[in-house]
């Protein structure tokens, strides 16, 4: 079966409208280059900072499967999330609508079903609380209409047999009783598990089920959208001991603690202080060790899915998209976790690999809301009207093509951030603001609000931010 022609799409659209079962579509049929793309494989990580990946310049973490995806696809070096925690980010990119917006749109899965695609979810795509949903196998905030079929997994997570550590308090034990899975310190928990291949863990089980779904889709011969949602490196950082052994904690470089670093950051802009972790160097080192280990474990499971896609002969008809919901702080500026507008949280990995497209790297600014219209363009299908995202087809054809002037992120409580090529503006309403020169200060150590030489940039940033926030409603 070849990609549907524009004439076929027009006729199908007319029929659907007659029967009243399709959303309003944009008038233009996409002009993506003809090819063999029939399917989309969406690979989604959780809480993954771009800067930890070799594809984004890291020289420590081992991700051979993401590396091979990066070398065969387009790596977006400046991709930014719109929601800074899981719950707003995931429905945002699955609907291509900014968080807090009153706009509405069908989910990507609902839209693709209108054109005959089988849509399947394995694991976490819409928000699921971790480890709660993995412990009981529940759906979380999933949208059932998005999927033709959906699959959850159950695993022991924090209670997995192995060496448990609570890094902010120094607790070390092999006892499973009393471990913190849902309490206030659960985000500092790690487990070096005893099952060497990780087959008892959520991400292994997700990969196994995804492989089964691929086999079934191959047999069915019907175009598909398969979303595979891994939960690592979301806390608790649970994976086999062999992954921890890759990264001796006492050899790792960790972010420096700089006296006075927070003096120019308003209280509204500060992240979690680690609940004691900032006063514990070994704990900080072990957190980096566990995070690296978690990323490598996730990468191994992702590789199993890629291997099966190739074994089944589906690689030449399938576009692959890899990303995450948002980034993460691991002690930069003394901050931990997410829900923060700074670069480590707002910037995300985003890689697209598709048959007929040349690999490359691009510095064009893009947003996660661009994922949805890019998928419809890759499949040469119409896109619903009213989406906030833009297709990245032109950048996939030419990495030098211009993307957005700036990427918008929206804080879950107040304000938001705007990342341009050379500056990053963070606004907390009455809580203050920050501005960073991303050329001279890419790690955001000096807030230049109030410095006379940046008055013009600040004025521009404020105006653009106000306009973008207004358009995002």
Map tokens 């893009």 to a residue.
366
pTM listed for this prediction:
0.93
239 pLDDT band, cuts 50/70/90, is very high
Give the helix ranges, DSSP H, for 200-324: 202-220, 241-245, 281-311
Q: What is the pLDDT of residue 413?
A: 83
Helix (H) or strand (E) holding 410: strand 406-410
Copy the structure tokens of residue 144.
Answer: 């059932």
Q: Please name the residues in contact with 31: beta carbons below 8 A apart, sequence gap of 6 or more.
A: 393
393 with 378: CB under 8 angstroms?
Answer: yes
Map tokens 């230049």 to a residue.
448
Q: What is the pLDDT of residue 35?
A: 54
Phi/psi at 200 (nearest 5 deg)? -95, 0
Please determine, for residue 213, whether its predicted confidence score (pLDDT) is greater than 60: yes
Task: Identify the residue with better confidence: 425 or 182.
Answer: 425
Beta partners for residue 191, in sequence order: 164, 238
Q: Give the model confidence (pLDDT) of 353-407 as tens digits.
A: 999 999 999 999 999 999 999 999 999 999 999 999 999 999 999 999 988 999 9
| Local structure of residue 459 (DSSP, 8 states) | H
Q: Which sequence spans correspond to the domains of the chain?
A: 35-153+198-396
420 with 461: CB under 8 angstroms?
Answer: yes
List, edge to edge, every strand of the sheet that includes 416-420. Answer: 406-410, 416-420, 423-427, 433-437
How many CA atoms within 13 Å lie on the side-chain side of 238?
32
92 with 82: CB under 8 angstroms?
Answer: yes
Quick one: CATH architecture of 35-153+198-396? 3-Layer(aba) Sandwich (3.40)
19 pLDDT band, cuts 50/70/90, is very low
Please determine, for residue 195, whether its predicted confidence score (pLDDT) is greater than 70: yes
Among 63, 83, 88, smallest CA distance to 75 is for: 63
Question: Cα 53 to chain center, whole Å?
Answer: 13
Q: Give the model confidence (pLDDT) of 45-78 as tens digits.
A: 999 999 999 999 999 999 999 999 999 999 999 9
Alpha carbon distance 120, 152 (integer Å): 11
431 with 414: CB under 8 angstroms?
Answer: yes
List, edge to edge, every strand of the sheet that includes 171-173. Answer: 171-173, 162-166, 189-193, 237-240
Copy the structure tokens of residue 186.
Answer: 């659960």
6 pLDDT band, cuts 50/70/90, is very low
414 pLDDT band, cuts 50/70/90, is confident
Q: What is the pLDDT of residue 138?
A: 97
Helix (H) or strand (E) holding 229: strand 224-229
């Amino acid at each position: 079966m070849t990609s549907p022609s524009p004439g076929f799409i027009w006729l199908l659209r007319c029929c659907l409208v007659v029967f009243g079962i399709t959303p309003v579509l944009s008038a233009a049929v996409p002009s993506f280059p003809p090819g063999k793309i029939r399917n989309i494989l969406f690979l989604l990580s959780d809480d993954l900072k771009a800067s930890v990946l070799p594809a984004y310049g890291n020289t420590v973490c081992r991700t051979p499967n993401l590396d091979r995806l990066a070398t065969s696809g387009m790596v977006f070096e400046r991709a930014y999330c719109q929601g800074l925690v899981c719950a707003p980010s995931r429905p945002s990119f699955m609907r291509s609508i900014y968080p807090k917006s009153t706009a509405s749109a069908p989910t990507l899965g609902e839209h693709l079903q209108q054109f005959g695609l089988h849509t399947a979810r394995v694991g976490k795509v819409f928000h699921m609380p971790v480890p709660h949903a993995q412990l009981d196998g529940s759906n979380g905030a999933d949208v059932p209409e998005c999927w033709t079929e959906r699959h959850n997994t159950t695993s022991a997570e924090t209670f997995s047999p192995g060496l448990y550590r609570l890094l902010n308090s120094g607790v070390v034990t092999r006892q499973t009783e009393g471990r913190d899975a849902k309490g206030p310190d659960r985000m500092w928990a790690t487990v070096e598990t005893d099952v060497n291949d990780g087959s008892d863990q959520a991400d292994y089980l997700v990969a196994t089920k995804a492989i089964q779904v691929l086999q079934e889709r191959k047999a069915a011969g019907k175009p598909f959208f398969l979303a595979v949602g891994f939960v690592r490196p979301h806390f608790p950082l649970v994976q086999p001991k062999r992954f921890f052994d890759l990264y001796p904690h006492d050899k790792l470089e960790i972010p420096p603690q700089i006296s006075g670093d927070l003096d120019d950051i308003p209280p509204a802009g500060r992240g979690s202080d680690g609940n004691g972790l900032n006063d514990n160097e070994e704990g900080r080192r072990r957190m980096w060790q566990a995070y690296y280990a978690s990323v490598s474990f996730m990468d191994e499971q992702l590789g199993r899915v890629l291997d099966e896609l190739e074994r089944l002969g589906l690689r030449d008809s399938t576009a692959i998209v890899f990303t995450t919901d948002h980034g993460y702080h691991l002690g930069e500026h003394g901050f931990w976790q997410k829900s923060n507008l700074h670069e480590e949280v707002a910037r995300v990995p985003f890689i697209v690999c598709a048959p007929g497209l040349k690999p490359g790297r691009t510095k064009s600014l893009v947003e996660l809301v661009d994922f949805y219209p890019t998928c419809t363009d890759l499949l040469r299908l119409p896109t619903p009207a009213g989406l906030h995202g833009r297709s990245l087809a032109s950048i996939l054809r030419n990495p030098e093509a211009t993307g957005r002037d700036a990427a918008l992120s929206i804080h879950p409580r107040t304000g938001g951030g705007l990342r341009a090529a050379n500056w990053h503006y963070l606004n907390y309403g009455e809580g203050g603001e920050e501005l960073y020169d991303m050329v001279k200060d890419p790690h955001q150590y000096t807030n230049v609000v109030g410095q006379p030489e940046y008055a013009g940039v600040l004025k521009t940033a404020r105006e653009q931010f106000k306009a973008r926030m207004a358009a995002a409603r």
